Amino acid sequence: MTRHVFIIGSKGIPAKYGGFETFVDQLTQRRSTEDIQYHVSCLSDQTGEFRHHEARCFQVKVPQMGSARAVLYDVLSLRSCIAYIRKNRIEHSIVYILACRIGPFFYFYKRILAKMGVQVFVNPDGHEWKRGKWNALIKRYWKLSERLMVKHADLLVCDSKGIEQYIQHDYAKYTPKTTYIAYGADLKKSSLEDHQDIFVNWKSQFEIQSHQYYLMIGRFVPENNYELIIKEFMKSTTRKQLIIITGIEKNAFYQELLEKTRFDQDPRIQFVGTVYNQQLLKKIREQAYGYLHGHEVGGTNPSLLEALASTKLNLLYDVIFNREVAEESAIYFTRVEGSLSSLLDAADQLTIEEVESYGNAAKERINLHFSWDTIVHQYEELFITEKAISVENDITLVHVNS
């Protein structure tokens, strides 16, 4: 029997960028069984359907309305799923919701789906309610939304063991049913050669030399610890550059960062904007001397996995989410003054053999626990196993190990 799986919460496929979008793209592209039919919601300014990687992609038209647009998008996607399941009389399907945006509306739709024999899985993502970009009111909404979705979901699929532990501890009164399936990464090297124009021109534009720069990639938000990393980098004696790839906005956070660090006075530090060409981005990672990862709001961060798959030396902010992914294949810094600056000075003195050893260990972590083929297989096992689905809408926990 074909299992119909409806995925909502990503912006859709084909993926140009974004963690959830890449996940859905990989999940559908690497499908290894005919027993699953995927239906993927796609944020759009029009309505319609198309197919991508044999998945049925349905476009959901949502007006521009600021941060509330994502909430409305999920609600409208959920309505579309309900209408399609009813119209086609699909039995024992699964709706998989990515992120906890629609908590206040969730129980209403969950009751409808339960009566239709539909299971609802939720990926709680990370601690969205901790993000510095939100004001106090929005943070309270995120926390409430998370609580309500944890309370009513049939199964929570956590891509971080730290997030799973948090869900089980903080929401113990709901006895949440959880499983852990990690995010994935691709060990395949960039298709670009060192001499190709697109890479050579990018380096020339910013006066960058291969293996002579540290790299930082991430959203331009406070919880990625830009201030800490820049201050510590400026204290270090390294002669290498700090290349920061991010979508920078000249907003209040930018001005505050500039005033606190005066990074504009250090010629080693460059904000170089965004890079959407995935092969170029992978090449930039491969040619970096080291990668700096300051993310502290879990769970498993895609940019960390991609760095471990491509960059030999990885310097990570010491939190549980980063430790559980990299383990001993990376080196760690803390918020203590001098921690990162001394680590950078020491990293510059590592031998070629020591750097290679870290790189090999990082790739081994990805190969054993975070390869996309492994992740997709675990999801397929979860979606089609009879142990995960019951017509009485009572899930027996299936814990899928990495």
CATH architecture type of domain 3-184+371-384: 3-Layer(aba) Sandwich (3.40)
Q: What is the pLDDT of residues 342-355, one digit of tens each?
A: 999 999 999 999 99
Q: Indicate if the alpha-carbon torsion angle 14, 15, 19, 23 is positive or negative.
A: positive
Residues in the chain: 402
Answer whether 306's CB lies under 8 Å from 185's CB.
Answer: yes
pLDDT over threshold 60, residue 402: no
pTM: 0.86
Q: In whole angstroms, what is the distance from residue 181 CA to residue 159 CA? A: 5
pLDDT value at residue 396 = 38
Helix/strand/coil (H, E, C) string of 36-67?
EEEEEEEEECCCEEEEECCEEEEEEECCCCCC
Q: What is the mean pLDDT of residues 12-19?
A: 85
Which residue type, as a one-letter code, is found at position 156? L
Domain ranges of the chain: 3-184+371-384, 197-369
Q: In whole angstroms, what is the distance from residue 209 CA to residue 228 CA? A: 25
- 399 pLDDT tier (thresholds 50, 70, 90): very low
Name the least confident of 74-78, 114-118, 294-298. 294-298
- 135 pLDDT tier (thresholds 50, 70, 90): confident
Answer whether 133's CB lies under 8 Å from 221's CB.
Answer: yes
**Run of H or E residues at 269:** strand 269-271
- Please give the order of strands across the beta sheet that includes 314-317: 269-271, 241-245, 213-217, 290-293, 314-317, 331-333
State which of 33-42, 133-142, 318-327 shows the largest mean pLDDT. Answer: 33-42
Q: Percentage of the chain surpassing pLDDT 90?
A: 79
Fold agreement (3-184+371-384, 197-369): yes
Q: Selecting from 3.90.1150.10, 3.40.50.620, 3.40.50.2000, 3.30.470.20, what CATH number does the domain 197-369 have? A: 3.40.50.2000
Name the least confident of 75-79, 130-134, 248-252, 363-367. 130-134
Residue 185: count other Cβ atoms within 10 Å of its Cβ: 28
pLDDT value at residue 271 = 94
pLDDT value at residue 90 = 96
Q: Indicate if the alpha-carbon torsion angle 186, 191, 194, 200 is positive or negative.
A: negative
Q: What is the pLDDT of residues 139-166, one digit of tens each?
A: 898 899 999 999 999 999 999 888 999 9
Which one is predicted more confidently, 38 or 301? 38
Which one is predicted more confidently, 221 or 279? 279
Q: What is the pLDDT of residues 17-63, one digit of tens each?
A: 788 999 999 999 999 999 999 999 999 999 999 999 999 999 999 99
pLDDT over threshold 50, residue 128: yes
pLDDT over threshold 90, residue 125: no
Dihedral pair phi/psi, residue 128, rounded to 5°: -60, -35
Residue 217: count other Cβ atoms within 10 Å of its Cβ: 23
Name the least confident of 198-202, 220-224, 375-379. 220-224
Q: What is the mean pLDDT of residues 263-285?
A: 95
Dump the DSSP string for 203-231.
HHHTT--TTSEEEEES-SSGGG-HHHHHH
Q: What is the pLDDT of residues 247-266, one digit of tens each?
A: 877 778 889 999 999 999 99
Q: What is the mean pLDDT of residues 53-77?
A: 93
**Run of H or E residues at 183:** none
Q: What is the pLDDT of residues 353-368, one digit of tens each?
A: 999 999 999 999 999 9
Q: In whole angstroms, what is the distance from residue 224 CA to residue 128 CA? A: 13
Q: What is the mean pLDDT of residues 225-237?
A: 97
pLDDT value at residue 392 = 36
DSSP label of 34:
T
Q: Which residues contact 319 (CB under 8 A, 6 or more apart)?
A: 296, 298
Going by C-alpha positions, the residue among 10, 17, 15 that lies closest to residue 246 is 17
Going by C-alpha positions, the residue among 6, 41, 36 that lies closest to residue 116 is 6
